[in-house]
Amino acid sequence: MVFCLQILNDNMITRKIKSQAAISSIGDLMKYVEALKAKGLTRCDFIVENGRTKLYGMAGYSGLNDGTYDAVQVAQATSVSKLKMAFMNFRAGQNNFREFRRRLAEAGVSNWVMNLKEKTCVFYDYFGIRMLDDTMNNSRR
């Protein structure tokens, strides 16, 4: 737990977590992720509905960052095409993190997991079914 508290108490990281709405492209998100990875983070689980982020680090450490966003209603019906469009727009810098999250909710995405060791990003629906897998190495910066 000390590991995650250190991450969350670090001024630079805390500012980045609190200012996710300023993330305007996949490149900005990757910079955010790299800063967390440099602190020893191995995985981030982003919860769409409430904006919370579960953080996982080395040696099994974990922590929870409360969301700084309004709650959004996640659609019951999933749409992989809406998800792909939201992701493409985010990659292109056409919307910020807050808008990206709203569009994910509209597509039926419950959460997504960024595995920093494997450099993957996987989007899931409420039932835990994979909707889209992406390799962060292929993400445009």
Q: What is the mean pLDDT of each run of 10 residues along the chain (141 residues)?
A: 44 47 66 80 92 86 79 96 92 85 96 90 95 74 41
CATH number at residue 8: 3.30.1810.10
Residue 76: the pLDDT is 94
Domain assignment present for 63 = yes
**139: helix, strand or coil:** coil
Query: Within a 13 Å sphere around the CA of 77, how many CA atoms are in the beta-carbon half?
Result: 3
**Nearest Cα to Cα of residue 131 among 113, 115, 109:** 109
Contacts of 34 (CB under 8 A, 6+ apart): none
Task: Give the total number of structural domains in the chain.
Answer: 1
Q: Taken in order 41, 118, 75, 89, is the CA torsion positive or negative?
A: positive
List of E strands, the chain: 41-47, 53-57, 62-65, 111-115, 120-124, 130-135
Query: What range does the domain containing 67 cover?
Result: 2-136
pLDDT for 30:
73
Which residues fall within 8 angstroms of residue 128, CB to CB, at 6 or more apart?
Answer: none
- Residue 141 within a domain: no
For residues 30, 141, 25 and 11, what is the CA-based torsion angle, rounded to 10 degrees? 30
Q: Provide the pLDDT for residue 137.
A: 62
pTM assigned to the model: 0.78
Q: What span, in angstroms and rounded, lies between the C-alpha atoms of 141 and 137?
A: 9
Residue 115 lies in a domain: yes
Is residue 46 a part of any domain in this protein? yes
Q: Indicate whether 120 belongs to any domain.
A: yes
Residue 50 located in a structural domain: yes
